[in-house]
Amino acid sequence: MAFDYDLFVIGGGSGGVRAARIASAEGGAKVGLAEESRMGGTCVIRGCVPKKLMVFASGYPAAMAEAQEYGWNVSNAGFDWPRFRNRLAAELTRLETAYRTTLTKAGVTIHDTRVVVVDPHTVELAGGQRLTAKHILIATGGRPFVPDIPGAELAVTSNEIFDLTELPKRALVVGGGYIASEFACILHGLGVAVTQYYRGAQILRGFDDEARGLVANAMQDRGIAIHCGTDVMRLEKSSDGIVVPATDGSSRGFDLVLYATGRRPNSTGLGLEALGVGFGRSGQIVVDDYSQTAVPSIFAVGDVTDRINLTPVAIREGHAFADTVFRGIPTRADHNLVASAVFTQPELGSVGLTEEAAREAGPIDVYVTTFRPMRTAFAGYPDRVMMKLVVDTANRRVLGCHIVGPDAGEMIQLAAIAIKMGATKDDFDRTVAVHPTMAEELVTMRKPTRTG
């Protein structure tokens, strides 16, 4: 049977674009790709990139205050949100254009439309046109989740936060994960009075307990009102903005309510249910180690599979798929020891096992140091940095590294290389410190803080 395409990709995010490009440019495949929204997906348009630019913007008030302590005559004349927003929109347009250009140069045909899967080898465009493909790749990512509560339509999500016409004076961030905590810090840094509700006992669940506790304390010290064990009952429009009755008995007014209570796989409405594709409890598409579904011709990568929902992971999965199917190089995406960073203020960088998870696996030695970093200590600030290594007692291998402090994301990337290579605590000890730096503490901790 002759197909219109060797590969048809549904979704123009990081994973889908990488798979399409490699399959076409290096695998010699005829590739089509459909994207109903903007090319670049969540990361480029509604996630990592605009969020990180907002992180940069939100850090300048503290930097200006710190500069004054170092002798500079600096004044904070206020933040021009429309100017920043317009510059941000222009940058995202530039990046989207770059993605399109990359695909076109690689020989990929782009369809700017929604697509459904009709059968294992056929897709139907929104206009009714049907196209056939030997292989179909689902890379539709995820979407923000807002619970079904009265007044839910009054809330915004991370999809809309970048397009606000003006910054609110008072904002409620609902959620305790990294997206919620990052936006709480961003909005606070931009001058918004921020309250954060989380129904759990502590924000940043899944990260090392000691590390997330330090981040939470620092956020509160900076003026963010974190209320754990608290959830929203409903949202009500009033003359005071949005009134939010909560489970702790309070009722507060806000100008903006941002929901960041998790994301769900974008797997519905694609026609996959009738074809025998398997789904998990959260709606994720079930795939094997090679990203293949229960239907042999249909594959899936990225957040829609709910494996590790990080952009670099989606890129690796898309590349591995293209290598396997179109380049004759069977490749499994490696999901072991994937580092991550939370761009709160302070940042949190993490790779490997938390102390809690490692302790359940066997005897460990834990090396921890907390200290006031030189830069902010000189300015008289109480900020603290934490460096932590979790070590297997038996073989001295470093099982996990957790860093809280400025540029923790940059540091954890380098620590991840050593840990991925199987570095032991003795390897860290043999490494000469770079002085004076924060990171030198990773190689100067000699005695464990906790054992067992």
- The three-point CA angle 446-214-221 to 5° equals 135
User: Which tokens hold the place of 53?
Assistant: 């630019």
User: Which tokens hold the place of 324?
Assistant: 């396997």
Neighbours of 440 (CB within 10 A): 14
- Strand ordering across the sheet containing 385-392: 340-342, 348-352, 398-404, 385-392, 364-371, 450-451
Residue 227 annotated among the catalytic residues of the structure: no
CA dihedral 383, 404, 67, 443 (to 10 degrees): 100
> For residue 436, is the peptide bond before it cis, meaning its omega torsion is within 30 degrees of 0?
yes
Q: Could you give the C-alpha distances from 264 to 30, 142, 147, 279, 414, in angstroms and in order?
A: 31, 5, 12, 12, 31
User: Which tokens hold the place of 419?
Assistant: 């840990």
Q: Is the dihedral of CA 300, 103, 324, 339 positive or negative?
A: negative
Q: Could you give the C-alpha distances from 300 to 27, 35, 366, 413, in angstroms and in order?
A: 18, 15, 39, 27
Mention every residue, 6+ apart, whose C-beta is less than 8 A from residue 54. Answer: 88, 162, 186, 190
User: Which tokens hold the place of 380?
Assistant: 């008289």
Q: Is the dihedral of CA 390, 183, 142, 83 positive or negative?
A: negative
Mention every residue, 6+ apart, whose C-beta is less than 8 A from residue 293. Answer: 138, 277, 278, 285, 286, 287, 299, 300
Pairwise CA distance, residues 196 & 178, whole Å: 12
Q: Is the separation of the CB atoms in 133 and 4 below 8 Å?
A: yes
DSSP string, 167-180: --SEEEEE--SHHH
Q: Which of 111, 227, 335, 435 does the annotation list as catalytic?
A: 435
Q: Which residues are identified as catalytic?
A: 435
